[in-house]
Structure 1
Amino acid sequence: MRSLRSLRLLLSLAFVLASFTHTPAYAAPQKDFKICWVLYAGWMPWGYAKTQGIIDKWARKYDIKIDLVELDDYVGSINQYTAGKFDGCAMTNMDALTIPAASGIDSTALIVSDYSNGNDGVLIKGKGKTLADLKGQKINLVQFSVSHYLLARALETAGLSEGDVHVVNTSDGGIVAAFASPAVHNTVTWNPMLAELKAQPDISEVFDSSQIPGEIMDMMVVNTNTLKDNPALGKALTGAWFETIQMMKADTAQGHSALKAMAKSSGTDLAGYKRQLATTALFYTPQQALEFVTSPDLPRIMALIAQFSFRHGLLGHGASSANVVGVSYDHGVTTGSKTNVRLRFDPTYVRMAAEGKL
């Protein structure tokens, strides 16, 4: 299910894609919008909001139409957004920086919906293992994904670096089979593969994303120019999102029904979906989301993401530093280039939701 963390395309391909995409300096008022998403525990509310008419209800309130499209290819969905095929797309903070933003597409994190709080982990075969046991070892993971980022952060805590290990690029669909091989002793992956592998005997989970809280975020990203000229889109999406997740959080028949529907749509049962939600720090209220996106920790986190991305050549061909792409936050704070801001954490619409103004 979490093909969300799948292998990104080579950055050169992203730039080729961007070069064939005409991106105007401004958008224009419009009535019809297309938003894409893929299956993942923290994004299932989008699908439920569509099937239950919640998206349509909020769109009608602002006299617009929103076509919420489920896609089966995560990286493909981001590339289509980058190419201008969609007005918005669900993606991680790292992917938002290294694909559309690095390709020159000005994008806004409309809603930071959750962060991984144990959904991603580092595993070693054998009981009682520690991060120190990774030194000099091969580690199977999806290269340049958030699994790779998690490994880098884990190694730092143990006084190691990426140069102390050997990464073996492995597709997300091949992680479980690879780990079954006697030749593979270490892996980094995400749920549900992580849970499946952890359940095997004699496995040590030596690090997980709960140890770097807030660093692996899931977001709804929209084109900044489109949002600027069409605030109705931001209002409708934000209103629909918080209505839906507050419904699923409620201890009511309606809330239980919503959870069951989301579990079924994601290919698991209610217990399985709840286990995935347990390691997904969803912001169930706009107040929680607002507190996170206005936190002084956010610029620090994104600077770490930018540094990792630069080290691996993910910020563009010829990027001179980790600061080549600017990221802006609340109260005029910016990390990276102030003259090349291409990713914006704008809490305007979440703040409106928190204040009951949608």
Structure 2
Amino acid sequence: MKRILQAAAVAVGLAATTFAGSLPADAAPKKSFKLAYTVYIGFMPFAYLKQSGIMKKWADKYGIEVDLIQANDYVGSVNQFIAGEIDAVGVASMDGLTMPAAGGVDTSVFLITDYSNGNDIVLSKTAKTVKDLVGQDVYLLQYSVSHYLLNRALQMNGVEDTSAAKAINISDAEISAAYVSQDTVKNAVSWKPLTEDMEKVPGTTVLFDSSKIPGEIMDVFIGNTANIKDNPDFAKAVTGAWYEALGILKAGGPKADEMRAVMTSAMGTDAGGLQSQLDTTHFFYTPAEAYAFLTSPENEKIWDSIRTFCFDQGLFGQGATSVDSIGIEVADGTVLGDKGNIKMRVNPTFTKEAIDGKL
């Protein structure tokens, strides 16, 4: 999963406008839905939901159909969501803010799956501390969570001017090989499994990782707010199926082994590779844990940090004049930014219904 942050392009805005304008005011409830996810550890339980029939069972309960689609192109899947071609998509929370929300789509987070808890790292062949990166080139995928991680690492180590370490853009397809083979690439930021070979380079030091900023690099499923409001059974079925699968993974035993095997195969890794990524990913195994996180005061602070980074990097688009240009409604109803332009909403309703046994 590339987890790319992108500025809202004109085409995105047009797609959002087209989709919003195409919704009939009195549309009948839908019966068929599409949910897309890409190959990333936090989303891979959906591969098991599809193969095991758990998703179908929950969809049948609500008299609907839910087609789970493993997408090859992360950005492409988000663009399909923006255009209204799919009903929900798995994203890093920042991408939900800077792509559909900044592009004009009123977007709701209806399920949180996990957050990176060491999956993303800052590493160097020469530097021994984060402060040593000042004045140095740091290779990363620009405007990605890697870029965000570098900025937070610098801030937390007393470097106020985060541009003091120069971010050099490199694709996720190239970064591992470049770090391993090129002497000029001394500092880098990336994520597992790309970093596994990078960490083996002699002299390499891990300077910072996402476990130092728990919750800030979170992965979620988003839906069009109007679609979720008009078709709550879709969100209920997905949420119920998700927590049934996570309960299996948490409990262990033969069914969990079966689930791990499906996830391993879908990711194209082996058992060790899967475990390594599980070890550095904080799954919300129960709805109670997810709800507590979503409704905590800390979650509001996280969204404030995310939006500040996005605005500073110009990811709200040319029309955004301040960090408050886009409104973000967090789980307790508090709005960060423009209350008249809320485009990102954290909706804990379905997680709470899972807790209360109402799904």
Same fold (TM over 0.5): yes
Q: 1:120 to 1:308 in 2, by over 3 A?
A: same
Q: Which residue in 1 is equivalent to 2:104?
A: 104
**One-letter amino acid of the counterpart of residue 317, structure 2:** G
TM-score w.r.t. the length of structure 1 is: 0.95
Structure 1 residues without counterparts, runs of 5 or longer = none
The answer to whether the Cα contact below 8 Å between 1:12 and 1:317 also exists between their aligned partners in 2 is no
CA distance in 2: counterparts of 1:245 and 1:357, whole angstroms: 18
**Residues 1:18 and 2:16 are matched in the alignment:** yes
Residue in 1 that maps onto 2:309: 308
Deviations along 1:254-288, whole A, 9 cap, x unmatched? 11111122112111111210110110000011111
Cα deviation code 1:99-158 (max 9, x no counterpart): 0000111111111111000010101103x7111110111111000011001111111112
Number of residue pairs matched? 355
Q: Which moved more, 1:4-13 or 1:348-357?
A: 4-13
- 1:139 is paired with a residue whose SS is strand
The letter for the 2-side match of 1:77 is: S
Consecutive unaligned residues in structure 2, runs of 5 or more:
none
What is the CA RMSD across the aligned residues, in angstroms? 1.6
Deviations 1:167-197 (A, max 9, x none): 1110000001221201110000011012221
Distance in 1, Cα, partners of 2:331 & 2:305 = 18
Distance 1:240 1:10 in 2: 32
Q: 1:149 matched to which residue of 2? A: 148
Give me the whole-angstrom Cα distance separating, in 2, the residues matched to 1:219 and 1:280: 13
Q: What TM-score, normalized to structure 2?
A: 0.95
2:194 aligns to what?
Answer: 193
Q: Whole-Å Cα distance in 2 between the matches of residues 228 and 303 of structure 1? A: 25
Between the aligned residues of both structures, percent identity stands at 43
Q: Distance in 1 between matches of 2:309 and 2:117?
A: 20
Three-state SS of the structure 1 residue aligned to 2:205 is strand
In the alignment, the residues of structure 1 paired with residue 350 and residue 107 of structure 2 have an alpha-carbon distance, to the nearest angstrom, of 15
CA change 1:49–1:284 in 2 (3 A) is: same
Name the structure 2 match of 1:86: 86
Could you report, residue by residue, the CA deviation over 1:302-341 in whole angstroms, capped at 9, with x for unpaired residues? 1111111111111122201111111112332111111111
Maintained 8 Å contact 1:114/1:282: yes
Deviation at 1:70, TM superposition (A): 1.0
Q: Summarize the Cα distance change of 1:168–1:297 in structure 2 as closer, same or farther, 3 Å threshold.
A: same
Code of the residue aligned with 2:158 in structure 1: it is G
CA distance in 1, matches of 2:348, 2:40: 23
How big is the shift at 1:22? 4.4
- Check whether the contact 1:7–1:142 (CA below 8 A) recurs between aligned residues: no
What secondary structure is seen at the aligned counterpart in 1 of 2:173? helix
1:111 maps to amino acid: L
Equivalent positions of 1:223-302 (< 5 A) are 223-302=224-303
Displacement of 1:227 = 0.8
